[in-house]
């Protein structure tokens, strides 16, 4: 089997690592991939521009690719699945219309409200003066969201009306997020514990993955600005059997059925970002791809064949698919460049990686690195995802941080409390 993987970050490194372990897979072509991904057995660089969907489809057709797997959200929102479908090529991922669940927060919110799927109350605006005036009817804290894709930075939690006005001005007047901020949502601020519920669906059957929890803020104690994610762990105790059942019945199944009723069946990875409130689970947002960095601990626990599961989803065969998990806890701690999520420098040499090679219970996934003359250098904001398995959250966390102590580069910073909620949960 020949698979084409689109993407280059830590999530894609984890996906490539798992895919290349499959006996079904003979070759993994990467667009663009990374030095770490291309160091894996079976992995090869395609040399095609990730943003050129027509060229990608032409390449996949000429290479007789059996399945294309999309890592990041942008190609899905841009319509890569539709472009490939014109040539009869199989893609694991939703169509352009179905990807609107992530591509437009307003589309998503309207779908949820229309179908009585638990979520926060919200109003939508495209005019700053009207939005600012409407704030008088909202009791802080409120959440201001850009409608479109904003690399995980288009959500601002505002504890005062002044801060909410600043966020609205940034999006609607200053155009900080360009077209993504031409429309905005003012939303009720939910209180509770966040969790990630990720499932694979063929448009009818919804196959849940293990629960996980991300850590979005840059600093310990969930302080500081949002990032792409500073760490994650799986399983997440907040998603126990009873709560997971509620999420499945009240959120995941109704959403997949609502999309099918619209004539836009959803096939691929459906990722619900949740707030577990006193009233139960509520949707903060939907993503239409694997999370980053949730994918790293999830795939480090997955014992089933990922390529086989994805193929079954594309072919509508999830009814017969079951997933097997390693019962241990997995924890991923992200090492980031100095200054991230703001300005950061690249090209800092990374040392200590060799000391962690070959360990069964530790793996370092590369999010933003470059290999030059046999040495690794930083090449992004989030640089590495140090991932460890252990019997229970405490052991896994200890292993991850012991491994992190081996790694060094100038300006490196990471959160010291990844997994703390799992350890302290009664």
Question: What is the location of CATH 3.30.470.20 in the chain?
Answer: 193-320
Distances (CA, A) of 285 to 12, 104, 278: 21, 10, 18
Pick the CATH number of 2-100 from 3.40.50.20, 3.40.50.620, 3.30.70.20, 2.60.40.420: 3.40.50.20
User: With contact defined as beta carbons under 8 Å apart, do 162 and 168 qualify?
Assistant: no
Question: What is the location of CATH 3.40.50.20 in the chain?
Answer: 2-100
The CATH number assigned to the domain with range 193-320 reads 3.30.470.20
Sheet containing strand 362-366, edge to edge, reads 213-214, 231-234, 329-336, 382-390, 362-366
The CATH class of 329-424 is alpha beta
The DSSP string of 56-71 is: HHHHHHHTT-SEEEE-
Distances (CA, A) of 309 to 65, 290, 303, 319: 17, 14, 11, 11
Which pTM was predicted? 0.95
- SS3 label, residue 249: helix
The β-bridge relationship of strands 280-287 and 223-226 is unpaired
**Topology at the third CATH level for domain 121-188:** Dna Ligase; domain 1 (3.30.1490)
H-state helical runs in 146-217: 161-168
Given the structure tokens 């959403």, which residue do they identify? 255
* Residue 58: alpha-carbon gap to chain centroid: 27
Burial (CB count <10 Å: 0-12, 13-18, 19+), residue 187? buried
Crossing angle (nearest 10°) for helices 306-314 and 10-19: 100
Tens-digit pLDDT string for the chain (426 aa) = 999 999 999 999 999 999 999 999 999 999 999 999 999 999 999 989 888 999 999 999 999 999 999 999 999 999 999 999 999 999 999 999 999 999 999 999 999 999 999 999 999 999 999 999 999 999 999 999 999 998 777 899 999 999 999 999 999 999 999 999 999 999 999 999 999 999 999 999 999 999 999 999 999 999 998 899 999 999 999 999 999 999 999 999 999 999 999 999 999 999 999 999 999 999 999 999 999 999 999 999 999 999 999 999 999 999 999 999 999 999 999 999 999 999 999 999 999 999 999 898 999 999 999 999 999 999 999 999 999 999 999 999 999 999 999 999 999 999 999 999 999 987
Question: What is the location of CATH 3.90.600.10 in the chain?
Answer: 329-424
Question: What is the location of CATH 3.30.1490.20 in the chain?
Answer: 121-188
């Amino acid at each position: 089997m020949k698979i084409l993987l689109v993407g280059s970050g830590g999530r894609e490194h984890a996906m490539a690592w798992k895919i290349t372990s499959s006996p079904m897979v003979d070759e993994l072509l990467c667009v663009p991939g990374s030095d770490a991904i291309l160091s894996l057995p079976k992995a090869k660089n395609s040399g095609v521009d990730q943003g050129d969907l027509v060229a990608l489809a032409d390449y996949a057709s000429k290479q007789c690719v059996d399945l294309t797997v999309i890592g990041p959200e942008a190609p899905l929102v841009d319509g890569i699945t539709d472009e490939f479908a014109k040539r009869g090529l199989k893609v694991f991922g939703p169509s352009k219309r179905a990807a609107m669940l992530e591509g437009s927060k307003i589309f998503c919110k309207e779908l949820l409200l229309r179908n009585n799927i638990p979520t926060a109350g919200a109003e939508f605006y495209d005019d700053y003066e009207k939005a600012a005036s409407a704030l008088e009817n909202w009791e802080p804290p409120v959440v201001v969201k850009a409608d479109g894709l904003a690399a995980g930075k288009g959500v601002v939690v505002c504890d005062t009306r002044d801060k909410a006005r600043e966020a609205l001005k940034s999006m609607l007047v200053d155009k900080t997020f360009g077209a993504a901020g031409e429309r905005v949502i003012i939303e009720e601020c939910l209180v509770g514990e966040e969790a990630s519920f990720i499932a694979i669906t063929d448009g009818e059957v919804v196959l849940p993955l293990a629960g996980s929890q991300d850590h979005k803020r840059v600093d310990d104690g969930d302080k500081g600005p949002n990032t792409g994610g500073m760490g994650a762990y799986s399983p997440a105790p907040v998603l126990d059997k009873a709560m997971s059942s509620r999420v499945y019945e009240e959120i995941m199944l109704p959403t997949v059925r609502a999309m099918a009723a619209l004539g836009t069946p959803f096939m691929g990875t459906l990722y619900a970002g949740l707030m577990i409130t006193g009233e139960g689970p509520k949707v903060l947002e939907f993503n239409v791809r694997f999370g980053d960095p949730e994918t790293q601990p999830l795939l480090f626990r997955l014992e089933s064949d990922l390529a086989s599961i994805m193929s079954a989803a594309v072919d509508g065969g999830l009814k017969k698919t079951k997933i097997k998990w390693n019962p241990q806890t997995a924890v991923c701690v992200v090492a980031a460049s100095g200054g991230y999520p703001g300005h950061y420098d690249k090209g800092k040499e990374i040392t200590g990686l060799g000391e962690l090679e070959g360990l069964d219970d530790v793996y370092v996934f590369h999010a933003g690195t470059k290999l030059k003359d046999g040495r690794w250098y930083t090449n992004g904001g989030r640089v590495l995802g140090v991932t460890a398995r252990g019997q229970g959250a405490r052991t896994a966390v200890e292993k991850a941080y012991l491994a992190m102590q081996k790694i060094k580069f100038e300006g490196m910073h990471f959160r010291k409390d990844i997994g703390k909620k799992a350890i302290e949960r009664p």
